[in-house]
Amino acid sequence: TFVTDSAQKTVRTTCPYCGVGCGVLARPEADGSVTIAGDPDHPANFGRLCSKGAALGETLSLRDRLLHPQIEGQEVRWDEALDFVAERFTAAIRQFGPDSVAIYGSGQLLTEDYYVANKLMKGFVGSANIDTNSRLCMASSVAGHKRAFGSDTVPGNYRDLELADLVVLVGSNLAWCHPVLHQRLMAAKAVRPDMRIVVVDPRRTVSADGADLHLPIRADGDIALFAGLLQHLATRDSGSDYAAAHTLGSQAAILAVRNWDLARVAEATGIAERDLSTFYSWFVGTENVVTVYSQGVNQSATGSDKVNAIINCHLYSGRIGRPGMGPFSVTGQPNAMGGREVGGLANMLAAHMDFTPDAIDRVGRFWGAKRMAQKPGLRAVELFDAMAAGRIKAVWIMGTNPVVSMPDADRVRDALKTCPFVVVSDMTARTDTAELAHVLLPAAPWGEKDGTVTNSERRISRQRPFLAPAGEARPDWWMITEVARRMGFAKAFPYNSPGEIFREHALLSGFENGGKRDFDISGLLAGGYETMDPTQWPVRETPTARLFAGGEFYTPDGKARLLPITPPPPITRVPGRLMLNTGRVRDHWHTMTRTGKTARLSAHFAEPFVEIHPEDARRLGIRKASLVRLARGGREAVVRALVTERQQPGNVFVPMHWTGQFASSGRVDALVAPQIDPVSGQPALKMSTVTVEPWRTA
Ligand code: SF4
């Protein structure tokens, strides 16, 4: 049971799982349980919750919780642990320079945690070696937004999906990965049956079941699909007034796709010409179109180009900025967006600023920092590569499990084994990564921590605590602040509460911005932090529901950019291998540290599996529900066969959740090649080739 400091009081907070960012009402009960309900007043969900959100109360037990700081497995006092971390980081910096240390964070961190971690690294250590598992989630969307809009800004909001007459889901199993947003979409379709939904996905997912048209695209065929759409738009229309007034680059973009007629797109995508023609004519004939995209787009070696190929179509046709239209990136994690806002990515500075001389100077003066990092740091895959090469001497991993989630995950495990100093702050010591830590710091999880998160529609919401911290658990912002003070930066880290940190973050967003900055939340300073309502940024005087109706992009000339994106050659198919796609299931979250605690959620899928088409199964001698061995480069995973026509021949799908803690052979990301998008640094988690065979005991 828990000691609650707010027994019988209902607390308004935000779900800790996906990027929909649903409002949750949590009420600790006298018997130690917590009653969970959807917040009817939260504009993301209006009272709805999905299976994961509804089961949050079942995930709060202290089983497997890390409750005390540890050094080399021995419980120690907080002071001892913090002194040790500060000493080892300081020593590494002194001996090997600022780039010898790193922080690897998580979309689970709150904005306040991210802010102080970023400030410590980029302002006071003097290195931008701070990256996050959000790199695995939406870095390609960030790059695509910046290239098109001059800023990483999502133009629309969730209401646009309800107002659209055509919603295109690309690489997004919305029904399972953003369930409440999918519920909203289906509810809108129920009252407006003329609304059409198109799903572009190699698999026939549950989202495709609810669609008017499923386009079973070949892995990585997305650029060809949208090149064909742009070509189709251009042959029927010389471009919208909007494009003429507010964009540059149309001509070059169209030239790049001029040969992409239906036949060629059909060949590149594997989609029947008839279906392509239907999709293109629906898009051309519908004013209100929203294109939603997610990991199937982002997690690719050409993810950034895919994003821009989609945005090109919306810019060219002027379908952006008004109700019911626009390109819409949905983020996987609860605070992927908040991390982007404060510079939690190695290539961003703070408050959406890049590493330009002006921005470095501005942030440096605001922070009073003399040792500002001067250039971007190592992105996730590069960071662990540098560690494997012996260049990272100390790393602090916060609330994430890269030994499971990173591509080529065994190599990441080996890199951490050789790293001289590994700190992990987490709610549990039972992760594959925590097992390799020299120092473990007990982090306060959801329910105990306090701060803000930002969802996929730029809406900042409060996460509020409703339980007293268990054991000696502390919030991440507190640990980072304490270590920063011990490293000699006490003056710059005076924080006693997350509200003070948020206030500084909001002040920085409005500092010397000339009134025209994309990420400006200085308007929130007038209201109270404790009572803050969910609010969409930018907030100068008022919140902003939608951007770019009248152009006004964040490029120097105010115009958006269409990019000349030519489809890449098809992925080389290796004879005897199948294409491996990875992703989520409906009822589990990431590496299951929380959802794995509830039998109700585990009942949906109790063990790792591989979806395989009946033709492949027959050819390979794989029987329904038998064990299957997948392998690549000496790594293997053994999972259960789920033989299904939802999968295309030549392709398999394995969920990413199972870890060494739950099923020693289910770590599928060990099989994923460490290929990245060169623009965004995002790993291609959905297109490695693997051998597949029946599992036989030795
Ligand atoms: Fe939580 Fe996402 Fe489900 Fe909403 S849709 S309850 S944010 S997991």
Q: Is the pLDDT of residue 4 over 50?
A: no
365-382 per-position pLDDT tens digit: 999 999 999 999 999 999
Ligand 1 centroid to Cα of residue 395, in Å, is 31
413-436 per-position pLDDT tens digit: 999 999 999 999 999 998 999 999
Whether 443 and 473 have beta carbons less than 8 Å apart is answered as: yes
Ligand 1 centroid to Cα of residue 579, in Å, is 30
- Bridge partners of 422? 395
Closest C-alpha residue for ligand 1 atom 6: 53
Residue with tokens 């964009």: 247
Model-level ipTM above the cut of 0.90: yes
Report CA torsion sign: 59, 61, 65, 68: positive
Distance (Å, rounded) from C-alpha 88 to C-alpha 465? Answer: 32
* Mean pLDDT of the 59-69 span: 94
Domain over 578-694 is classified CATH 3.40.50.150: no
Closest C-alpha residue for ligand 1 atom 3: 50
Phi, psi (deg, nearest 5) at residue 137: -110, -50
Report CA torsion sign: 512, 362, 144, 657: negative
**3-class DSSP assignment, residue 96:** helix
Ligand 1 centroid to Cα of residue 177, in Å, is 8
* Mean pLDDT of the 36-58 span: 97
Closest C-alpha residue for ligand 1 atom 4: 22
Closest C-alpha residue for ligand 1 atom 2: 18
* Mean pLDDT of the 160-166 span: 98
Ligand 1 centroid to Cα of residue 50, in Å, is 6
**3-class DSSP assignment, residue 342:** helix
Give the pLDDT score at 2. Answer: 37
Return the best residue to mutate from 25, 39, 42, 52 for the ligand 1 pocket (most ligand atoms within 8 A of CB). 52
Domain boundaries along the sequence of the chain: 11-59, 70-137+343-495, 139-330, 578-694
Ligand 1 centroid to Cα of residue 520, in Å, is 27
CATH fold label, 11-59: N-terminal domain of TfIIb (2.20.25)
* CA of 49, closest atom in ligand 1: 6
Which protein residues are within 6 Å of ligand 1, measured from CB?
15, 17-18, 20-22, 45, 49-50, 52-53, 178-180
Ligand 1 centroid to Cα of residue 330, in Å, is 12
183-219 per-position pLDDT tens digit: 999 999 999 999 999 999 999 999 999 999 999 999 8
Q: Is the pLDDT of residue 514 over 80?
A: no
Mean pLDDT of the chain: 93
Q: Cα Rg for the chain, rounded, in angstroms?
A: 24
The tokens for 338 are 């908040």
Classify the phi-psi angles of 351: left when phi > 0, otherwise alpha if psi is within -120 to 50, otherwise beta: left
Which among 337, 283, 335, 336 has a CA at the least distance from the CA of 310?
283
Non-local (6+) Cβ contacts of 15 within 8 A are 21, 22, 23, 24, 49, 52, 53, 56, 334
Q: What share of the chain is helix, strand, coil (3-state, %, to 5)?
A: 35, 15, 45
Domain over 70-137+343-495 is classified CATH 3.40.50.740: yes
Give the pLDDT score at 660. Answer: 65
Distance (Å, rounded) from C-alpha 120 to C-alpha 109? Answer: 15
* CA of 14, closest atom in ligand 1: 7
Return the best residue to mutate from 45, 185, 333, 598 for the ligand 1 pocket (most ligand atoms within 8 A of CB). 45
Ligand 1 centroid to Cα of residue 284, in Å, is 33
Ligand 1 centroid to Cα of residue 586, in Å, is 10
Give the pLDDT score at 516. Answer: 63
CATH of domain 139-330: 3.40.228.10
